[in-house]
Amino acid sequence: MTGGLAEQRRAAIRREFARRGSVRTAELAERLGVSERTVQRDLDWLADQLPTGRRVYGGLVSAEPGTAAPGLRIGLLLPVGDYYYEEVIAGAEAAAAALNVRLVVGTYAYREDLETAALHRLGEVRLDGLVATVDYRGHGYHQLRALGLTTVVIERPWHPDRFNSDTADSDQIDHVCSDHHAGAGIGLRHLAGLGHRSVLCLVRSTATAVPLLRGLEYAAAELSPGCPVEVHAVPVDPDTLEPEPSVWQPLLAEVVERCRTGAATAIFAHADWEALELYRRLDAAGIAVPDQVSLLSYDGVRVGPDPVLSAVTPRRRWIGAMAVETVVDRLRSRGRRSHEQRPGYQVSLVPELILRASTAPPP
């Protein structure tokens, strides 16, 4: 490949970046008629040349440099770059900008093969540290350890045994996550506090489900018998993580019928898409929210003009910011003697309750 063609490609990448603020390797490769690997090499070259360069693995974002920790490159591996994780990236970018850190972001679309490939590519980049949300069903923990990077795990259950049986080694892995157990209790107590005495809870069977279910069980036991709580786990397709139609559709019909008869006066739904679908079904059945049934969402990502749902929402922006700050702090402590190195941080951020227009006292 001649230098002239390479310059043309890089100029095209710069124009795309200037126009959209981000670039995607697959789209560029197809448009330019070259392999994704070629585009990736161009992105690597540009990131080295430009102080504000953002690097993409399947899709790229970055941070403006600040003044506090010059020269550091931090990888950020996430399942996706939108929906729940969009604010995580925004928080990480803000912290990286303040700390003069270059952020290298990879995504894997909840697919184990793409996660493996993204980790491999990140391992080829000159990184100082890594912030990662690994697939809880796969072998990402072992791959993270194999990279040998200073690591912060975010938004996943803490499993130090999956890194190393050596406690001293796992003590150097930091963890920043949402306290979904507490979030479940916040939502349930809000509904009980409004006077609801029968609550249906729907939980999508993802990585968030385990702490949510435990939190609901704990809060329900605390509120019993004054506020009976019924919890339904919603199975999901393992590839798309969308609710299984064979279970989801009948469950929707059952929930609407229970609300129509007054057997349930409130719904606590994880996640936003399930809550919005329930809202549409209730509206179609002539059941008014919140006059007849209160509807509370867990996630609070989608807050369009109609409907505006009350929600328990994890502090996603803070997760991203604190993870970057934590990995930089760990890197700064590398030169200390072993007895002076701080222990691993296990940080849990309690979600917040955002009241909008979908919860009210029962009729």
> With 80 as the cut, is the pLDDT of residue 69 above it?
no
- Residue 295, judged by CB atoms within 10 A of its CB (0-12, 13-18, 19+), counts as buried
**DSSP three-state, residue 317:** helix
- Residue 164, judged by CB atoms within 10 A of its CB (0-12, 13-18, 19+), counts as middle
In this predicted model, what pLDDT tens digit does every residue of 33-59 receive, in sequence order?
787 667 767 776 666 554 443 444 344
pLDDT band, very low/low/confident/very high, at 146 (cuts 50, 70, 90): confident
Q: What is the pLDDT of residue 47?
A: 60
Mean pLDDT throughout 167-185? 82
All domains of the chain in start order, with CATH: 3-179+317-349 (3.40.50.2300), 180-313 (3.40.50.2300)
Paired residues of 268 in beta bridges: 201, 296
Cα three-residue angle 296-207-276, rounded to 5 degrees:
30
pLDDT band, very low/low/confident/very high, at 71 (cuts 50, 70, 90): confident
In this structure, what token pair is assigned to residue 307? 């409907």
Inter-residue contact 97 to 103 (CB < 8 Å) = no
pTM of the predicted protein model: 0.78
- Comparing 83-97, 123-137, 154-168, the range with the smallest average pLDDT is 154-168
Q: How far apart are CA 347 and CA 131, in angstroms?
A: 14
Q: Which of 26-35, 55-64, 167-176, 256-265 has the highest mean pLDDT?
A: 256-265
> How many CB atoms neighbour CB 293 within 10 A?
28
